[in-house]
Amino acid sequence: MRTGTPAYIGLGSNLGDREAHLRRAVEALAATPGVQVVGKGRVIETAPVGPPGQGPYLNSAVAVHTTLDPRSLRDKCHQIEAELGRDRSGPRWGPRTIDLDLLLYADAVIATEELTVPHPQLAERRFVLEPLADIAADVVHPGLGRTIGELYAARLAEDAAEGGLDALGERLRAKLDCVKVRIQELGSVAVAYSGGTDSTFLAYLAHEVLGERMLAVMAASALQPGFEAAVAQELARRYGWRYEVLRFRPLDVDEIRANPPKRCYHCKRGLFARLYEVARTHGLDHVADGANADDVADFRPGDRAAAEAGVARPLRDCDLSKAEVRALSRALGLATADRPASACLASRVPYGTPLTEELLARIDAAEQAVRELGVKQVRVRAEGRTARLEVAPGRIGPLATRLRGEVVRAVQAAGFAHVALDLAGYRTGSLNEGLSETDRTG
């Protein structure tokens, strides 16, 4: 059982056996009374920051739950550094066997001569944000009001805007090449396309690699937000893709309309069957979708339907995260690089509440009304006659104060009696939070 306060620690090494130093540092943290290591980010190799002549770093991050206060945890990190041979007598940002930095300590903001939390360079350093985003993507930076995932995406976007693909580094360019290879191996493909960031990126690369052997297929149904179809068609015309609209009626299926926890499985199963019919009609061998590496973190029964149908998933196969897809999209000049994530409207309705076209249209109208007030990312969770709004943490304040009256009027005009603002902020799959293990696996 996890106890204590959540905190995040960055690790780096560029002397000696770097992998061993990182491993031993994590082991030492885990062996510390009052510290429980609960997550580990990826290990990446990066160029050094500081005096010239240094070797490259290996960087990572860990999540801990701790009963230590921030200063005691920082002191323990310094003790571990000393035990692993860290010499602090050299130049600032010089080479070191191990470096342990306290990045975040819950929502604490500390600014003293001896300790600053959050770490003052956290938002500026991609080599910190990248592994941290693996384990803390939805954690809000208490000083900036933005999630770690948003900060990482912004850092990547700035790099891409300044230097294009070259600025994104060898590892990310290798992932891009990997996706192209996977697409080439397919030979021909129908891409499940919505006009969102992931599917547009996949369709763009598939068209680049396969040309006319790629067809972008948009499934139009009551489950899709109303603005998506027009946006998707405009993008397809702009990029010169073959494009087709598939009319899909999921609410005709009892297992979907009843809205059980496995609703997405039944919906995706039917959708993929229809997509394969379209693919065969056009002489295409495969169907692919834009699932990315981040999507594995949530409860997604549609993944089972994709696996059963044999749907190709090049972005996930090549370990591309959402932030990386956005960065590559920006470097390629795609209009969808910064498009807010969208999702099936049924994901706004608590499991067990039957889905109707009227309810979904009410949710769609409420979200569109809030977007028109300048709130790009919003989810309206329909809980009876109440609309529970989820927005990015940095937008909670304006909605609760300056925009409160306009938001209430707009959402009530869409058909809701009451309007609530979720102080936890926007997060994907929030209606999955109460699911039992039986619901998830049964």
Q: Is 298 a catalytic residue?
A: no
The H-assigned helical ranges of 34-136 are 70-83, 126-136
- Residue reference for tokens 């940002």: 93
Following DSSP, what letter does each residue of 205-232 receive, concatenated? Answer: HHHHHHGGGEEEEEEESTTS-TTHHHHH
Q: Considering the candidates 18, 74, 99, 213, report the single residue annotated as catalytic.
A: 99
Q: Considering the candidates 18, 74, 86, 395, report the single residue annotated as catalytic.
A: 86
Order of strands across the sheet with 242-247? 242-247, 214-220, 189-192, 286-288
Q: Is 159 a catalytic residue?
A: no
Q: Count the Cβ atoms, other than its own, within 10 Å of residue 434.
A: 9
The pair of structure tokens assigned to 415 is 């058909």
Q: Is 101 a catalytic residue?
A: yes
Does residue 427 sit in helix, strand or coil?
coil
Q: Considering the candidates 18, 96, 269, 362, report the single residue annotated as catalytic.
A: 96
The H-assigned helical ranges of 310-383 are 314-317, 322-331, 357-371
Q: Considering the candidates 18, 74, 101, 330, report the single residue annotated as catalytic.
A: 101
Q: Is 86 a catalytic residue?
A: yes
Q: How far apart are CA 60 and CA 12, in angstroms?
A: 7
The pair of structure tokens assigned to 148 is 């770690």
- Write down the number of H helices and E strands in the chain: 16, 14
The pair of structure tokens assigned to 4 is 């204590």
The alpha carbon torsion through 355, 360, 363, 367 (nearest 10 deg) reads 140
Q: How far apart are CA 283 and CA 187, in angstroms?
A: 11
The pair of structure tokens assigned to 83 is 């035990």
Q: Return the active site residues.
A: 86, 96, 99, 101
